[in-house]
C-alpha cells in the first residue's frame, strides 16, 4: 500500500529539512519489488499553498493545508528553518498542527520544526530533540516538554523529533526501516552515500567541530584545550572562570558568543563526548568511564546519558562499541 507523507513548510524554511527526507522516501521504490504503486506518495503543504521560498532562496511548490481529518494514516513531517519564529508568531500553523497532529499515524519534526510541535501542545509530557544550539531555548519556552540535548532523533509514541538538518535523514531512514525492514533502509542509505545509518541514541554534538568553530584569536580556545586535557578534574563554572581570568558572567558571555553554548553546557558536552569515546573503544568498567570523563560516579554518568541521549551508558556501549 502507498503511504502518504506530508511535508509541512513555511517561508524561509530550511530546504534540506524537506528535500532530504523527501529523497529518502522517494528512493525506497528502487529497492522493492515492482508493484505499479509507489511506496510513498509525497506532498509538500503550506498555510495557503503555492511557491514557498526557502532560506536559500529556492522555492518549493506546495498545496494548501488539508483538513485535519485527511491526515488519518499519514506521516506528517514539519521542517525547521529561519522562518520558524515568524510562523510561531502568526499562529495559524500551530493551531492547525494542534488539530491535525494527533490524527496522523506519525507526526515528526526536523531541527527547529520542534518549536512548532511544542507550541501546538503536541509534545507536553513527551521527550523531544532539536539542534543542540536551540535545545536550551526550547526547554525554556516549553518547560512541560522533556528536551534531550544531544540525541540525533527520538520517538515518543506516535511523535518523532530529530536534531539539526541532516539528522532528519537518519530519522526518515528509521521510519523506512519500520515500514519495509532493515535491509531496505540500509540499501537506501547506501544509495544516498550515507555509508552508516546513525541510530537515534548517537550523539549530534562534536567537540572537534566546536573547536574548529571557536575563533583562533578568541577567549575560548585555551579553555577548550585545557578542559579536554583534564576532564577528570573537578571543573565547574567558577573554576573555568578562574582559569580564563574572567568573572562567571563574562565567561558566560564569551562562551555564548564564540561557541553558542553556556559554560556549564560546554563542560557537559565535552564530558559526554569523552565518555562516549571510551564506551565506543570498549572500556568495560562504567566506573572507570565515569571517573575518566569527570562524572565522578556511575549514577552521574547514567543520569547524564539518560537526559542527553535517551539511553543508558551500557546501551550506548552495546550499540556503538567498535
The residue-averaged pLDDT of 271-283 equals: 87
Residues 172 and 315 in one domain: no
Residues with Cβ < 8 Å from 256, sequence gap 6 or more? Answer: 262
Residues 181 and 214 in one domain: no
CATH number reported for the structural domain that contains residue 76 in this entry:
3.40.50.880
Q: Is residue 96 part of a domain?
A: yes
Residues 26 and 173 in one domain: yes
Instruction: Give the pLDDT score at 296.
Output: 94
In the predicted structure, residue 200 carries a pLDDT above the cut 60: no
Query: How much of the chain exceeds pLDDT 90, in percent?
Result: 66
In the predicted structure, residue 74 carries a pLDDT above the cut 80: yes
- If one compares 139 and 219, the residue with the highest pLDDT of the two is 139
In the predicted structure, residue 207 carries a pLDDT above the cut 70: no
Per residue in 141-153, pLDDT (tens digit) is: 999 999 987 778 8
In the predicted structure, residue 322 carries a pLDDT above the cut 80: no
Residues 164 and 227 in one domain: no
Angle (deg, nearest 10), helices 263-280 and 298-309: 100
In the predicted structure, residue 195 carries a pLDDT above the cut 60: no
Its sign, for the CA torsion 148, 107, 77, 138, is negative
- If one compares 70 and 134, the residue with the highest pLDDT of the two is 70
Q: What's the total number of domains in the chain?
A: 2
Q: Is residue 201 part of a domain?
A: no
Residues 43 and 138 in one domain: yes
Per-residue confidence at 198, pLDDT binned at 50, 70, 90?
low
Q: Is residue 199 part of a domain?
A: no
The residue-averaged pLDDT of 9-18 equals: 97
Residues 227 and 308 in one domain: yes
Instruction: Give the pLDDT score at 206.
Output: 57
The residue-averaged pLDDT of 93-110 equals: 97
Residues with Cβ < 8 Å from 27, sequence gap 6 or more? Answer: 188, 191, 192
Residues 124 and 11 in one domain: yes
Instruction: Give the pLDDT score at 205.
Output: 53
CATH number reported for the structural domain that contains residue 301 in this entry:
1.10.10.60
Instruction: Give the pLDDT score at 165.
Output: 73
Q: Is residue 50 part of a domain?
A: yes
Instruction: Give the pLDDT score at 212.
Output: 55
Q: Is residue 197 part of a domain?
A: no
The three-point CA angle 6-10-16 to 5° equals: 70
Residues 184 and 217 in one domain: no
Pick the last residue of a domain from 191, 217, 245.
Answer: 191
Residues 163 and 258 in one domain: no
Residues 227 and 124 in one domain: no
Cβ atoms of 174 and 153 within 8 Å: the answer is: yes
| Residue 129, SS3 per DSSP | coil
In the predicted structure, residue 290 carries a pLDDT above the cut 90: yes
Residues 134 and 212 in one domain: no
Buried-exposed string 52-75: b where 16+ CB fall within 10 A, e elsewhere: bebeeeeebebeebeebeebeebb
- If one compares 21 and 318, the residue with the highest pLDDT of the two is 21
Q: Is residue 196 part of a domain?
A: no
Residues 166 and 280 in one domain: no
Instruction: Give the pLDDT score at 108.
Output: 97
Q: Is residue 148 part of a domain?
A: yes
Pick the last residue of a domain from 166, 191, 216.
Answer: 191
User: Dmax of the chain from CA atoms?
Assistant: 68
Instruction: Give the pLDDT score at 152.
Output: 84
Instruction: Give the pLDDT score at 269.
Output: 86
Q: Is residue 274 part of a domain?
A: yes
Pick the last residue of a domain from 137, 165, 191.
Answer: 191
| Residue 36, SS3 per DSSP | coil
Instruction: Give the pLDDT score at 213.
Output: 59
Per-residue confidence at 190, pLDDT binned at 50, 70, 90?
confident
Instruction: Give the pLDDT score at 186.
Output: 86
Quote the domain boundaries for residue 36: 3-191
Amino acid at each position: 500500500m502507498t503511504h502518504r507523507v506530508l511535508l509541512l513548510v513555511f517561508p524561509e524554511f530550511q530546504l534540506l529539512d524537506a528535500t532530504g527526507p523527501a529523497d529518502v522516501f522517494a528512493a525506497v521504490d528502487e529497492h522493492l519489488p515492482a508493484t505499479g504503486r509507489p511506496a510513498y506518495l509525497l506532498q509538500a503543504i503550506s498555510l495557503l499553498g503555492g511557491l514557498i521560498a526557502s532560506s536559500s532562496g529556492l522555492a518549493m511548490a506546495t498545496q494548501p493545508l488539508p483538513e485535519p481529518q485527511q491526515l488519518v494514516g499519514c506521516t506528517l513531517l514539519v521542517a525547521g528553518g529561519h522562518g520558524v519564529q515568524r510562523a510561531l508568531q502568526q499562529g495559524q500553523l500551530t493551531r492547525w498542527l494542534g488539530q491535525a497532529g494527533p490524527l496522523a499515524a506519525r507526526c515528526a519534526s526536523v531541527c527547529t520544526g520542534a518549536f512548532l510541535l511544542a507550541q501546538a501542545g503536541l509534545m507536553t509530557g513527551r521527550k523531544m530533540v532539536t539542534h543542540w544550539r536551540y535545545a536550551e531555548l526550547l526547554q525554556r519556552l516549553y518547560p512541560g516538554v522533556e528536551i534531550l540535548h544531544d540525541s540525533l532523533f527520538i520517538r515518543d509514541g506516535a511523535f518523532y523529533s530529530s536534531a539539526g538538518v541532516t539528522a532528519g535523514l537518519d530519522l526518515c531512514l528509521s521510519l523506512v526501516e519500520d515500514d519495509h525492514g532493515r535491509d531496505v533502509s540500509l540499501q537506501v542509505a547506501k544509495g544516498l552515500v550515507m555509508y552508516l545509518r546513525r541510530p537515534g541514541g548517537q550523539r549530534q554534538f562534536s567537540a572537534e567541530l566546536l573547536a574548529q568553530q571557536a575563533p583562533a584569536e578568541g577567549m575560548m580556545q585555551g579553555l577548550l584545550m585545557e578542559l579536554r586535557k583534564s576532564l577528570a578534574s573537578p571543573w565547574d563554572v567558577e573554576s573555568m572562570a578562574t582559569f580564563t581570568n574572567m568573572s562567571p558572567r563574562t565567561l558566560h558571555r564569551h562562551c555564548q558568543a564564540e561557541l553558542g553554548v553556556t559554560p556549564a553546557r560546554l563542560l557537559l558536552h565535552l564530558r559526554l563526548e569523552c565518555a562516549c569515546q571510551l564506551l565506543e573503544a570498549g572500556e568495560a568498567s562504567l566506573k572507570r568511564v565515569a571517573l575518566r570523563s569527570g562524572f565522578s560516579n556511575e549514577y552521574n554518568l547514567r543520569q547524564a546519558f539518560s537526559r542527553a541521549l535517551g539511553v543508558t551508558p551500557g546501551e550506548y556501549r552495546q550499540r556503538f562499541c567498535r
